Amino acid sequence: MAKLPSKLPGRKFQVSNTNPASAGHTALRAMLCLGVGLTALSAVAAPALAQESETEDTRTMQTVTITATKREQTLQDVPIAVSVVDEATIERAAIVDLNDLQSIIPSLRVGQLQSSANTNFVIRGFGNGANNAGIEPSVGVFIDGVYRSRSAAQISDLPNIERVEVLRGPQSTLFGKNASAGVISVVTKKPQYELGGVVDATLSNENGYRANGYVTGPLAENLAGAVGVTYNKRDGYVDDIGTGTETNERNRWGIRGDLIFEPNVNTTFRLLGDYDNIDELCCAAGNVINGPTGGIIQAIGGTLVPEDPYSYRVAYNLPSTNKVDNGGVSLQGDFDFSGMRLTSITAYRISNLETNQDSDFTGANLLGENSNKTDIDTFTQEIRLTSTDGDRLDWMVGGFYFDETVEIENALLFGDDYRNYANALAGGLNPATGTITDILAGLESALGLPVGTTFAQEGQGFRDDAGQDNTAWSLFGTVDYRLTDRLTATVGLNYTEDKKDAYNNIAASDVLSSLDLVAIGFAQALGGVGVDATDPAQVGAFAAAFPTEFAAIQAAVQDPASNPLLALQPLQFLPPFLGFPNVVEDGRTKDSSTTYTLRLAYDVNDNLNTYVSYATGFKATSWNLSRDSRPFARDFISGSPVTNPPSSPIRDAGLALPNLTSGTRYAGPEDSAVFEVGLKGVYSTVAFNLAYFDQTIEGFQSNVFTGTGFALANAGKQSNKGVEFDVSWNPINDLQLVVAGSVQDPVYDEFPNSASGDLSGQTPAGIPEVATSTAATYFFDVGSWDAYVRGDWQYESPVDHFDSAADQALIGEQKEVSTFNASSGFTNENGLGVTLWIRNIFNDEYITTAFPAVAQAGSIMGYPSAPRSYGVTVRKTF
């Protein structure tokens, strides 16, 4: 590992490129070097660590290369919006996992939801994929060229990261797996033929222990290997006073092996194998708004910590467990021929998730179980042929194949407090005495059912068996043609076909939810006039003889004022489920799309580059593999069977069930497009990037929690336009200042049928208009130690938590982020380093994600931001 530079630009620089035509450009790039990874720079030549010259006391400044474009290029030369975080940044900014990247990349947002594996990546306000294994992420994650299809497979700690590249906007012509919103590409270190490695250990508050080890070296003349291990454990920072446990902990480890075999100068094979395990109690949601149901919770003996999410105290009746196993193997082969390189990447991965959560987030046992077991097996094959010695023409063509199986087992079952809770919601609670009348017993008796043991019983609910088989393939390629020495035109194409076969079968045992309360009221009303509602002849005769009275009965049974049974409808949380495939719904989708990239890039001079581009992206249909999957309205029109319902395919096939309503089985494809203009400059003490973007997604796959489930639907059109910028400035010797940010204007252009009503013309919740990341780093010497001190500030302007105006009015407050971090490090010539770090210095408090409380109308829950953390890391490089 290179030493930290004791001095930054201001000393002499050695330019190793002796070509007079490019010496000036190279010198300017060398002068940019202000320390690799002090921050992420977007589409601009990133600073790099000074390397110790073996022959002279001067230092040669290197520029960072990236491979997101499938060929090695400097950031200055790449005319796309891309940010890079390298190993030095990860060390200095105390970045532990991908969640922390958002603190230095303003256009990236990472949200961890109800479990360790439910992590959502968002770029420029676009992103989804958590909370439903049937939904593909809009932001694609690749690790060493291998696509990670779900968030559970993306969050592993990696012991040997070289850099992380974040590409903004739709990506289709460089990656076989189309990504409609952006790409996160993680690149790890390759094995070396010299023995080396690094070990580090971290001690932090909350009894945190973290250790990494990485060793590499030769195994034979043409064979090198590397092994990396990581271990990360920390107590939870949330106290669960209900179960007596601490939640939001860390407990994960992983191992990774890597082999490089080079039988000759033109052939390289890289074999990677990894396994990681997560077994954590996570993630606590605090009570933000304590609605009218809070008193009922306490009346039935449940506890809660009302409206105090930043106390980091919750009261649950069972700990929320999360177990994730990830593993896989990949083989990459690179074969150099005359003027071209053939690359093949073959990979097989598994991801297994098991969770059980207290999803009512109270001390009352309303939901005794909300378990999920998801197994995902993924096979991918990518082949690329890339030119290597083009004069005016560079090209790349490739093919990609994807085969994945998803299997899901869910259970959502009532707990032993649910019947009392249901009776209280139905009006059985006496506020004066706190006693609860068993209202449900009266209904059971009236229907001739066993009293006290039929409705709202412990263990009733849903058991779910769902899954899908997904195969996809694509052909893609790009051509770069230098029209002049300074002007380059790029054309890229991608053709994708995607097939999915999905299924979902749920066994529903909630007896109360299976009752058609309108039909029961109708039968009772007819019985009162001596008509048997089960006899069509009697009903028809009565309707013919007394049409006015019959119409009045039909209207009355659908009016809560006349039919008291309708007061129980809000308790029918888990009605019978219509599984698929069935004779109406085949459970199959097939999508195809051609996407493209058009770009012109122009070198104004050796210091200034500009580009203009237009690119499109695509994401295939995502199936709703959850209990909220319902027939489309076109297949089923809801209505009571006693009130002359309209004809529909579901009803005509005899598949109608009591209380079955329409919804979505899947969300159709996303089609994205972005127009972008960028300007990049590199000067002796300043580097900057400025980009204007106008990005739209047609049919954005929205997945919104409604309080009892998730509503998956296509937004007609969602767009975002704005400006992204970053500036790196070296005002004095040894000091670097960096500011990066985005100013954007997101909007739902068309979204008439959202779960929150017509949102057309409104600003989407959760996307800040202004987001910035500011950092300052100062280098100095302490005796024989190279040292630095670093501080950074992450800011996001206030933004609504909800698209729903009613829910936003209920919570009142907006989300605003203003978080400060700091670190200081010391490294000597023997490879020994010490880093002191602190994150969220001033305990910035905000709710990362808010949502309606489960089956508790008027209450709002939310995930509070992590409190201050601090620690010390000791590192030895050899």
At residue 74, the pLDDT reads 60
Of 575, 574, 564, nearest to 426 by C-alpha is 564
Q: DSSP character for 31?
A: H
At residue 73, the pLDDT reads 63
At residue 177, the pLDDT reads 80
- What is the C-alpha to C-alpha distance for residues 327 and 331, in angstroms, rounded to an integer? 14
Q: Which of 304-308, 387-391, 606-610, 615-619 has the lowest mean pLDDT?
A: 387-391
In single-letter form, the type of residue at position 232 comes to N
Q: Which of 39-43, 157-161, 571-575, 775-779 has the lowest mean pLDDT?
A: 39-43
At residue 59, the pLDDT reads 23
At residue 716, the pLDDT reads 86
In single-letter form, the type of residue at position 628 comes to D
In single-letter form, the type of residue at position 19 comes to N
The DSSP string of 529-560 is: TT--TT-HHHHHHHHHH-HHHHHHHHHHTT-T
At residue 12, the pLDDT reads 29
At residue 152, the pLDDT reads 62
Residue 434 has pLDDT above 80, yes or no: yes
pLDDT tens string 313-362: 999 998 888 899 999 999 999 999 999 999 999 999 999 999 998 989 99
pLDDT tens string 31-56: 233 233 333 333 333 333 233 333 33
Residues ≥6 apart with Cβ < 8 Å to 217: 191, 192, 193, 194, 195, 196, 197, 224, 225, 226
Could you tell me the pLDDT band of residue 125, with boundaries at 50, 70 and 90?
confident
Q: Which of 48-52, 115-119, 523-527, 642-646 has the lowest mean pLDDT?
A: 48-52
At residue 230, the pLDDT reads 92
At residue 106, the pLDDT reads 77
Residue 508 has pLDDT above 50, yes or no: yes
Categorise residue 527: left if φ over 0, alpha if ψ from -120 to 50, beta otherwise: alpha
Are the CB atoms for 113 and 119 separated by under 8 Å? yes
Where do you find CATH 2.40.170.20 in the chain?
20-416+458-512+575-629+664-877
Average pLDDT over residues 553-567: 88
Q: Which of 56-60, 136-140, 164-168, 232-236 has the lowest mean pLDDT?
A: 56-60
pLDDT tens string 404-421: 999 999 999 999 999 999
Residue 800 has pLDDT above 90, yes or no: yes
Q: Which of 76-80, 107-111, 197-201, 749-753 has the highest mean pLDDT?
A: 197-201
pLDDT tens string 832-855: 999 999 999 999 999 999 999 988
At residue 56, the pLDDT reads 33
Q: Could you write out the three-class secondary structure of 621-660? A: CEECCCCCCCCCCCCCCCCCCCCCCCCCHHHHCCCCCCCC
Average pLDDT over residues 280-304: 92
Of 224 and 71, which is predicted with more confidence?
224
Of 113 and 540, which is predicted with more confidence?
540
Residue 811: which H helix or E strand, with range? helix 805-811
Side-chain half-sphere exposure of 147, counting CA atoms within 13 A:
27
Residue 474 has pLDDT above 60, yes or no: yes
Of 498, 500, 504, nearest to 469 by C-alpha is 500
pLDDT tens string 175-216: 778 778 888 888 899 999 999 999 999 999 999 999 999 999
Average pLDDT over residues 92-106: 75
Average pLDDT over residues 737-749: 93
Torsional sign, CA 34, 40, 41, 45:
positive
- What is the C-alpha to C-alpha distance for residues 133 and 127, in angstroms, rounded to an integer? 14
- What is the C-alpha to C-alpha distance for residues 453 and 444, in angstroms, rounded to an integer? 9
- In this structure, whether the domain defined by 20-416+458-512+575-629+664-877 belongs to CATH 3.60.130.10 is answered with no
Rounded to an integer, what is the distance from CA 718 to the centroid of its chain?
Answer: 18
At residue 195, the pLDDT reads 96
Q: Which of 83-87, 488-492, 497-501, 720-724 has the lowest mean pLDDT?
A: 83-87
- What is the C-alpha to C-alpha distance for residues 346 and 382, in angstroms, rounded to an integer? 7
At residue 819, the pLDDT reads 95
Torsional sign, CA 175, 179, 183, 189:
negative
Torsional sign, CA 552, 558, 561, 562:
positive
- What is the C-alpha to C-alpha distance for residues 21 and 605, in angstroms, rounded to an integer? 12
At residue 753, the pLDDT reads 82
How high is the mean pLDDT of the chain? 85
In single-letter form, the type of residue at position 499 comes to K
- What is the C-alpha to C-alpha distance for residues 126 and 141, in angstroms, rounded to an integer? 14
- What is the C-alpha to C-alpha distance for residues 69 and 165, in angstroms, rounded to an integer? 10
Please state, in angstroms and as integers, the Cα–Cα distance from residue 662 to each residue in 81, 427, 577, 630, 665, following that order: 41, 29, 11, 5, 9
Are the CB atoms for 505 and 449 separated by under 8 Å? no
Torsional sign, CA 532, 537, 539, 545:
negative
The structure tokens 């609860």 sit at: 436
Rounded to an integer, what is the distance from CA 774 to the centroid of its chain?
Answer: 24
* pLDDT-above-70 percentage for the chain: 88
Q: Which of 107-121, 255-269, 627-641, 695-709 has the highest mean pLDDT?
A: 255-269
Q: Which of 148-157, 675-684, 777-786, 868-877 has the lowest mean pLDDT?
A: 148-157
Could you tell me the pLDDT band of residue 109, with boundaries at 50, 70 and 90?
confident
Of 264, 481, 475, nearest to 387 by C-alpha is 481
Residues ≥6 apart with Cβ < 8 Å to 207: 234, 235
The DSSP string of 470-538 is: EEEEEEEEEEEEESSSSEEEEEEEEEEEEEEEEEEEEEE--TGGG--HHHHHHHHHHHTTT--TT-HHH
- What is the C-alpha to C-alpha distance for residues 245 and 233, in angstroms, rounded to an integer? 15
Are the CB atoms for 228 and 87 separated by under 8 Å? no
At residue 862, the pLDDT reads 94
Cβ atoms < 10 Å from Cβ of 731: 9
Of 756, 869, 778, nearest to 820 by C-alpha is 869
pLDDT tens string 626-652: 888 889 988 876 554 454 555 688 888
Q: Give the pair of three-digit tokens for residue 618.
A: 């695509």
Residue ranges of the alpha helices (H) in 376-493?
418-423, 439-446
Q: Could you write out the three-class secondary structure of 655-675? A: CCCCCCCCCCCEECCEEEEEE
Residue 357: which H helix or E strand, with range? none
At residue 657, the pLDDT reads 86
Q: Give the pair of three-digit tokens for residue 370.
A: 């909300």
Residues ≥6 apart with Cβ < 8 Å to 619: 136, 138, 178, 179, 180, 669, 670, 672, 701
